[in-house]
Amino acid sequence: MYWRERRVRPGLYTDGQTVYEASYRYTDGRNGMYRKSTLGQFLDSPKVPEKQKKRIVQRLGSDAPDLVLEE
């Protein structure tokens, strides 16, 4: 793909310790990540479906990151 995405796709992301939610600030066109909870709290939550929890744990062990933050 030749074009960079202007926005981070909506959804949840993790660095292995903390769960973040992607957001987009329209006033100045910037992406952001807001901390939702720790990964342990997220995986212990009864509101999160078991299927999603298993998928997250599996991806943490094997996949490359979905996005990389540049500073």
Is the residue at 45 inside a domain?
A: yes
3 in a domain, yes or no?
A: no
Segment 3-60, tens digit of pLDDT? 455 677 888 888 888 888 888 888 877 778 889 999 999 999 999 899 988 888 888 8
Please indicate, yes or no, if residue 34 is contained in any of the structural domains. Answer: yes
Q: Which residues pair with 14 in a beta bridge?
A: 19
Give the pTM: 0.69
Looking at the structure of the chain, the number of domains it has is 1
Is the predicted pLDDT of residue 67 greater than 80, yes or no?
no
Residue 16 · residue 6 · CB < 8 Å: no
Residue ranges making up the domain that contains 54: 12-62
Both tokens assigned to 42 = 């997220």
